[in-house]
Structure 1
Amino acid sequence: MSARSKARKRALDLLYQADLRELSLDEIVRTEAARAAGEPDRLASWLYAREIVDGVHDHRDEIDGLIGDLAHGWTLDRMPAVDRAILRLASWEILHNPEIPAAVAIDEAVELAKSLSTEDSAKFVNGVLGRVAEQGGAA
């Protein structure tokens, strides 16, 4: 697994945890930063994971609004928490990280959905993120 893939998984874990436990991302990030500082093996993936989490936090209203508009028939509240976190993570990459091609962000998100959610979730994530890429001009 590449360093960026590991970072995405870590960012997903943090976003999911904050959402599910209704904790602030700042609190979750502080705890994870302390853990990463004590474990040098985790530091490489931590830097990009932190960038993702900070980016999602900074653009949360925009990202959630776009996902809500493009997830036909679904509200954010109806989505499984893991799917919501995956969509937020990948939407940030598509819209705000020009280093990551939209196709890569979408593929990585679909793989996360396949491994952590359901096959239906993978299709749903793929469809929503395809529309995010089109809307963001990154397709």
Structure 2
Amino acid sequence: MGRRQSRESAMQVLYQVDVGKMAVDEAMQNIQDNFMLTGPDLEFASHLVHGTLDKLDELDKTIAGYSREWQVERMAAVDRNILRLALYEMLYARDIPPNVSINEAVEMAKRFGGAESGKFINGILGAVVRARA
């Protein structure tokens, strides 16, 4: 399956926890059952979910700092969770180049978000990269 499926699964878990107020373990089990994630793919998805949730306050503050017109809690839930996941990768997964995280986030936004989601996510994540350079 690979990392793309792991990222999509992780985003869906984050969405279920955020919007559905589902317990993390229950949401992870749903993803595992529905997408047959196993082995390294499941480990990567789990790492992304738990890492993102552990750093949620910090990630949301960073996102808020770069999204001038949008408060994090008012963003579309899909966009918010894609941003959280990608930003977690960019800041804490040193083995993943930021451009890979951005590209994957934009692709997820095109697949799961609204018409402008890809541009919105690319703009925020690009600004983070430029500010950290």
Q: TM-score, normalised by structure 1?
A: 0.85
Q: Describe the SS at the equivalent of 2:37.
A: helix
Distance change (3 Å), C-alpha of 1:20 and 1:34: closer
Q: 2:30 aligned with 1:42, yes or no? A: no
Describe the superposition over 1:48-80 as per-residue Cα deviations: whole angstroms up to 9, x where unpaired.
010001111111111000001101210012100
SS of alignment partner, residue 42 of structure 1: coil
Q: 1:110 to 1:30 in 2, by over 3 A?
A: same
User: Which residue of 69, 72, 77 maps to 2:68?
Assistant: 72
Q: Deviations over 1:1-47 (max 9, x none)?
A: x5110100000000011111123xxx2235524874x79x4113211
Specify every segment of 5 or more residues in structure 1 that has no aligned partner in the other structure, as ranges. none
Q: Segments of 4+ in structure 1 off by > 3 A?
A: 33-36
In structure 2, what is the Cα distance between the partners aligned to 1:34 and 1:88?
20
| Percentage of identical aligned residues | 37
Correspondences of 1:1-139 after superposition (within 5 Å): 3-23=2-22, 27-30=23-26, 32-33=28-29, 36=32, 41-44=36-39, 45-135=41-131, 137=132, 139=133
- Partner Cα distance (2:77, 2:30) in 1: 25
AA partner of residue 49 (structure 1):
A
* TM-score for both structures, normalised by structure 2: 0.89
- Give the direction of change, closer, same or farther, for the CA distance of 1:13–1:72 in structure 2 (3 Å limit): same
Give the distance between the partners of 2:75 and 2:96, measured in 1 at CA. 25
Contact 1:95 1:133 in 2 (8 A): no
Query: What's the CA shift for 1:117?
Result: 1.0
* Aligned counterparts of 1:15 and 1:112: Cα–Cα separation in 2: 13
Give the gaps of 5 or more residues in structure 2.
Answer: none
Q: How many residues align?
A: 132
Structure 2 distance, partners of 1:100, 1:110, is 16
Q: CA RMSD in A?
A: 2.1
Contact 2:19 2:77 in 1 (8 A): yes
